Every structure is written in structure tokens, then in C-alpha cells.
């Protein structure tokens, strides 16, 4: 699991070394948001993708705590199988020149979603799903998990997204690693 913090990128302190289910609930309260400008910037940036940002924030406070946001306006999402996503994220973390963008984990579906700039790229590959214009993505608030969704890397509120080129290279490296592992273990 990737649990490193890098200068210039935001990784909440509770992420370092503590699984989501062990996070201190007090750190996730609405009171924390009032005085934490980083969280507030993240909330505002993410809610701006909603047709009604106020209703979006209200959905985050309710149950189950997720909002459906339309891709294609501020970002698109490339969803990968979880094992390949973790390997790709590790490769992105190793590149210290570009901070990684928001990354969402769906524990139930065992998938990782990488938030990318909205563009007309097409993504092809085994197990890849691409949410762009007219696609909807279930998103928890940036300050806590909701159901089976949690941020691995929450939005920074500045609009930082994954680079399409960097993510493509990381996914290629992850696929190569998976093939090499399978060969070493005698799997097909």
C-alpha cells in the first residue's frame, strides 16, 4: 500500500500508516472542515463539478455520503482493476517531478479510479473503464470514506489531476510487472 507523503502534495496525516477503518472519527467531523482550508478547498473544487454544489455537499453529509458527479466538465476518470491500479500508483509516486492527482478506491468493485483532465482521449486495455462526458461517477467527500468508496489521494482543491501520459506509462509498467509476476509464478 502506498503511504508516503511528498512535499507539495496533500496526503492527510491519518492516511499515513492507518487503514481507513481505523481513522479517528473526530478528525472527520464537519468542525474540522471549518478551520481546515485544505479540506474546504477540496470540497469546493469537487462540488463545483455538480450541477448543484449545495445539494452535492448536502448529499455528502447524509447517508450513504456519496454524490453522483458528471465526468467531462472538470475531469474524467480512468478506472482500473485494483491490483493494476496499485502498481500504477506506485510508479506515479516514484516520479517525483509530477504530483499524482486525485485517486479513488472502490473496495467493493476492487477498482481504482484515476482523475484525469477532460479530453477526448480514448483508453483501451484489459479491464479499463473510462468515464468521460455524459458519464456519472459516485464520489465521496474528500474528507472521509463513504460506504465502499474512499480517496487514496484526495483532491487538493487546486485542480491537480493525473497526467494522461504519465498514467499511460505507469499502466504499461504495471501490466509488464503483472506479466512478469505471472511468468515467475508459472501462471498463464
What is d(CA 92, CA 114) in angstroms, rounded to the nearest whole number?
A: 11
Q: Kindly report the average pLDDT of the chain as a whole number.
A: 81
Instruction: For residues 35-39, give the mean pLDDT.
Output: 74
Q: How far is CA 32 from CA 35, 40, 64, 74, 180, in A?
A: 6, 9, 20, 26, 45
**Hey, is 170 helix, strand or coil?**
helix
Nine-digit cell at 185?
Answer: 509464478
Percentage above 70 pLDDT, the chain: 80
Q: pTM for this one?
A: 0.79
- In this prediction, residue 188 carries a pLDDT of 62
Average pLDDT over residues 20-47: 64
Whole-Å CA distances, 112 to 8, 37, 68, 108, 109: 23, 27, 17, 11, 9
- Closest to 145 in 3D by CA, of 3, 15, 10: 15
Burial class of residue 56, CB neighbours in 10 A (0-12, 13-18, 19+): buried
Is-contact 9 93, C-beta < 8 A? no
Distance CA(175)–CA(159), nearest Å, equals 28
DSSP type of residue 179: H
Confidence of residue 19 (pLDDT cuts 50, 70, 90): very low
Amino acid at each position: 500500500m502506498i503511504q508516503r507523503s511528498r512535499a507539495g502534495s496533500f496526503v492527510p496525516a491519518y492516511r499515513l500508516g492507518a487503514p481507513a477503518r481505523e481513522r479517528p472519527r473526530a478528525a472527520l467531523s464537519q468542525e474540522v472542515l471549518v478551520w481546515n482550508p485544505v479540506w474546504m478547498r477540496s470540497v469546493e473544487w469537487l462540488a463545483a463539478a455538480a450541477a448543484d454544489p449545495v445539494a452535492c455537499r448536502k448529499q455528502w453529509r447524509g447517508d450513504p455520503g456519496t454524490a453522483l458527479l458528471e465526468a467531462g466538465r472538470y475531469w474524467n476518470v480512468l478506472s482500473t482493476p485494483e491490483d493494476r491500479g496499485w502498481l500504477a500508483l506506485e510508479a506515479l509516486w516514484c516520479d517525483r517531478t509530477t504530483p499524482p492527482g486525485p485517486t479513488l478506491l472502490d473496495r467493493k468493485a476492487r477498482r481504482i479510479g484515476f482523475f484525469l483532465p477532460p479530453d477526448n482521449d480514448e483508453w483501451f486495455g484489459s479491464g479499463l473503464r473510462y468515464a468521460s462526458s455524459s458519464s456519472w461517477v459516485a464520489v465521496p467527500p474528500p474528507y472521509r470514506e463513504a460506504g465502499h468508496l474512499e480517496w487514496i489521494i484526495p483532491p487538493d482543491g487546486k485542480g491537480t489531476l493525473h497526467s494522461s501520459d504519465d498514467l499511460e506509462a505507469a499502466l504499461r509498467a504495471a501490466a509488464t510487472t503483472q506479466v512478469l509476476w505471472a511468468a515467475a509464478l508459472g501462471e498463464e
